[in-house]
Amino acid sequence: MELSARRGPDVDGERPPLVLLHGFCLNAGLWAGQLDGLGRRWPTVALDLRGFGSSVPVQDDRQPSIEVMADDVAETLRLLGRRPAIVCGLSMGGYVAMALARRAPELLAGLVLADTKQEADDEARRAERERVASTVERERSVRVVLEEVAPSFTGATTRRRRPEAQALVDTLVAATPYEAAAWASRAMAGREDSAATLRALEAPVLVVVGDEDVVSPPAGAFAMASGLRDGSFACLPTAGHLSPAEVAPAFDACVASFLEARFGEVGR
Ligand code: MLT
């Protein structure tokens, strides 16, 4: 499935594009700060994953799977025609980016893994995801996500001091079709462990995490970066699980220095 894309201003199309993948119950709108900031200096595209934002709604004919989402991204990258790309996935988007590294490594020039983790779920986590999926289906609403899951998306500092970032996140979650929330919850529950995929990867990888991220905490992100052949690690102060929205300038600066070091000069 070709995914809906939001593009930054078209700058220097010769460089590998930075392709942004959002997390659970969000959409490409998460990356507004990056499209407006980094996107003026590097060719940048944000995708709506299957069922989210303006992409086609989920249908019953595809079983929930992170690999299906990765195949959508691969198809979209091929259609964009500017490959290989630097794929930046946040949380669930990171799971999709890791599946893409497994299934189509030739499409990747590099990876940015933001606020995500390499491990598969344990039994308790899978059961919790099934509870969330069946509740949203029964209620035909994302209420349970808004009330029980999304409160841990942003860090304590954002909840106290950054009302605009918090409002953006709340709006994106509330706009999520409940069918997509259920489908993606089950897809995450069934995902593979990606440690071996990352160990085998030759492309450069930047791992970024907020120091207040309680969903994918910094210790796990550091361990993930340490196992990479060509990994860099950055921990962003006062950011939670959605660091690109919470501390956009710091997130952009960190990604820009990775791009600059590995793929050429980033415009000013
Ligand atoms: C996300 O932000 O995409 C999810 O919280 C990730 C997860 O639940 O594992």
Query: According to the model, what pLDDT value does residue 173 have?
Result: 97
**Ligand 1 atom at shortest distance from the alpha carbon of 242:** 2
Query: According to the model, what pLDDT value does residue 268 have?
Result: 57
pLDDT above 80: residue 188: yes
DSSP assignments along 65-102, one per residue: -HHHHHHHHHHHHHHH---SEEEEEETHHHHHHHHHHH
**Ligand 1 atom at shortest distance from the alpha carbon of 153:** 2
Q: What is the pLDDT of residues 16-71, one digit of tens each?
A: 999 999 999 999 999 999 999 999 999 999 999 999 999 988 876 789 999 999 99
Distance in angstroms (rounded) separating the CA atoms of residues 41 and 170: 28
Pocket test for ligand 1, best of 27, 215, 216 (most atoms within 8 A of CB): 215
Pocket test for ligand 1, best of 24, 48, 149 (most atoms within 8 A of CB): 24
**Ligand 1 atom at shortest distance from the alpha carbon of 121:** 9
* Best CA proximity match to 92, nearest among 58, 129, 38: 129
**Mean predicted confidence (pLDDT) in 173-192:** 97
Distance 133 CA to ligand 1 centre (A): 13
Query: According to the model, what pLDDT value does residue 12 have?
Result: 62
Q: What is the pLDDT of residues 89-145, one digit of tens each?
A: 999 999 999 999 999 999 999 999 999 999 999 999 999 999 999 999 999 999 999
Distance 212 CA to ligand 1 centre (A): 15
Would you give the end-to-end CA distance of the chain in angstroms?
Answer: 35
Q: Give the pTM.
A: 0.97
Distance in angstroms (rounded) separating the CA atoms of residues 232 and 225: 6
**Ligand 1 atom at shortest distance from the alpha carbon of 22:** 3
Ligand 1 environment, Cβ below 6 A: 23-24, 91-92, 188, 215, 241
Q: What is the pLDDT of residues 63-105, one digit of tens each?
A: 999 999 999 999 999 998 866 999 999 999 999 999 999 999 9
Q: What is the pLDDT of residues 214-235, one digit of tens each?
A: 999 999 999 999 999 999 999 9
| pLDDT band at residue 13 under the 50/70/90 scheme | low
Distance in angstroms (rounded) separating the CA atoms of residues 46 and 55: 12
Question: For a pLDDT cut of 90, what percent of the chain falls above it?
Answer: 90
Distance in angstroms (rounded) separating the CA atoms of residues 116 and 118: 7
| pLDDT band at residue 11 under the 50/70/90 scheme | low
Pocket test for ligand 1, best of 92, 121, 176 (most atoms within 8 A of CB): 92
Average confidence score pLDDT of the chain: 95
Residues 6+ apart with CB under 8 A from 226: 233
Distance 55 CA to ligand 1 centre (A): 19
**Mean predicted confidence (pLDDT) in 200-207:** 96
* Best CA proximity match to 75, nearest among 100, 93, 41, 53: 100
**Mean predicted confidence (pLDDT) in 164-183:** 96
* Best CA proximity match to 180, nearest among 33, 68, 35: 68
**Mean predicted confidence (pLDDT) in 193-200:** 96
Query: According to the model, what pLDDT value does residue 136 have?
Result: 97
Q: Whose CA is nearest to atom 5 of ligand 1?
A: 24
Distance 260 CA to ligand 1 centre (A): 29
Distance 152 CA to ligand 1 centre (A): 10
Q: Whose CA is nearest to atom 4 of ligand 1?
A: 24
